[in-house]
Amino acid sequence: MLTIKTSASRKKSLTNFKIDYEYYFCTVQLTAPNIMKNKRLSRLKNAICGASALLVCVSMFSFKASASAKSCLADTVTNGFKLRTVIVDAGHGVKPDNAPKGHYSRGADGSFSNERNVTLSIALKLQKAIEKDITGVKAVLTRSTEEDVSFERRAQIANENKGNLFISIHCNSLPDRIVRERVGGTARRPKYRSMRVADRSGRGTLFLIYGLKRTTEADREIKNNQVEADSDLDGDGLDPNDPVVIILTNEYRRRFRKQSVNIANLINEEIVQTDGRRSEGLREQSIYVLCHAAMPSVLVETGYINNHDDEEYLNSEEGQTEIVNSIVRAITKYKNQMEASETN
Ligand SMILES: [Zn+2]
């Protein structure tokens, strides 16, 4: 988790949103006026267009995954689509000594466990289960040890391996609440002190898909799919004025958003209907690794690690197996849907 900033939006997020705080979450304002004000981008927009824009910018800005990103783009829009490779991303980790430059995050802590170990354990099980239960599908891990891998490297791994689907495993956590307690004074001049109190009331799953400013059509889709509105968390990792981010964001929305919502809904249904667990539904969020992985993607908050019951569940063999089996059933349905629709 990150040190909590004291900006207005961060304060609001402390009280209004249930999110695990980390570099992953970045709010990017991509309004039309901002785009038009950006002369650098205007020049860029005039020079390039469409899919070639993505590739030109990618090479201009040394985004190393260009070739594989191109093949992923093609895979999702051509007939004969086959789901071949699922990227399984275990959130967080311990930053290694002499780590390459990039963004790292240790994740949230529970009372007897921590997010980075739980996500790794679930991800390892998920990789094995996908390869065992879904014929012809390979599962690639972005990290397989306790050492953290930067967000940038995770996206590269996804693209280098020509992933068709990106599943990021996380645990949620509520930030402490700030409460005021009277400590004396007079009736006219009471004295108070502020205290941080752990908020353990969060429970259940949450699904995050990558999203920024929405259109009316997207709003309708969100309503139908119970996707919640953007939260306004601050963060690092995505520069809203970076042309690469802008182009990748537009490409993501155009090519991968629909299937990202689809896979998130399929996993959500399994977890709610088969496992009988509580869910907070789907939410759009600016998330570095989802934006840069050029494929449909979802971040699964598997439960609240700072809630006692959820933490027990997340650490139990039974709980981890249920989560893994639900994700595998959802991926199987997704595969069947996508491969059937592409051959019709
Ligand atoms: Zn996390």
Q: What domain range is 150 assigned to?
A: 8-175+204-343
Please say whether the beta carbons of 270 and 323 come within 8 A. no
Q: How far is the CA of 119 from the centre of ligand 1 (A)?
A: 8
**Residue 185 covered by a domain:** no
Residue with tokens 């700072």: 306
**Separation of CA 35 and ligand 1 centre (Å):** 30
From ligand 1's centre to the CA of 19, what distance in Å? 9
Residue 186 lies inside a defined structural domain of this protein: no
> Is 184 part of any domain?
no
Q: Determine contact, residues 297/165, Cβ cutoff 8 Å.
A: yes
Cα(161) to centroid(ligand 1), Å: 23
> Residue 194 Cα, ligand 1 centroid: separation in angstroms?
28
Residue 325 placed within a domain: yes
CA distance 263 to 209: 10
Alpha-carbon span 124 to 54, nearest angstrom: 33
Contact criterion met (CB below 8 Å) for 207 and 144: no
Burial of 252 per CB tally in 10 Å (0-12, 13-18, 19+) = buried
Residue 1 lies in a domain: no
Residue type, 134: I
Degrees, nearest 5: CA angle 293-105-170? 65
What burial class does residue 14 get, using C-beta atoms within 10 Å of its C-beta: 0-12 exposed, 13-18 middle, 19+ buried? Answer: buried
Ligand 1 centre from 222 Cα, in Å?
23
CATH code (residue 298): 3.40.630.40
83 assigned to some structural domain = yes
Distance, CA 172 to ligand 1 centroid (Å)? 6
Query: In this structure, are strands 190-197 and 205-210 parallel, antiparallel, or unpaired?
Result: unpaired
180 assigned to some structural domain? no
Report how far ligand 1's centroid is from the alpha carbon of 22 (Å). 6
The Å distance, Cα 206 to ligand 1 centre, comes to: 11
Domain count, the chain: 1
The first and second tokens of residue 57, run together, are 């910018």
Q: What is the mean pLDDT of each run of 10 residues along the chain (344 residues)?
A: 34 34 32 33 38 34 36 50 96 94 91 97 98 98 96 94 96 90 90 90 92 51 42 44 75 87 97 96 85 90 96 98 98 95 58
C-alpha of residue 281 to centroid of ligand 1, in Å: 17
Question: What global pTM score does this model have?
Answer: 0.72
How many CB atoms within 10 Å of residue 316? 11
Does the residue 192 lie in any domain? no
Q: How far is CA 219 from CA 35, 131, 269, 284, in A?
A: 21, 36, 21, 11
Among 164, 221, 168, 128, smallest CA distance to 339 is for 164
What are the start-end ranges of the E strands in the chain?
85-90, 138-141, 165-172, 177-185, 190-197, 205-210, 227-228, 279-285, 297-304
* pLDDT of 71: 40
Q: What's the pLDDT at 330? A: 98
Backbone angles phi, psi at 185, to 5 degrees: 85, -170
Question: What is the secondary structure of 322-334 as a DSSP string?
Answer: HHHHHHHHHHHHH
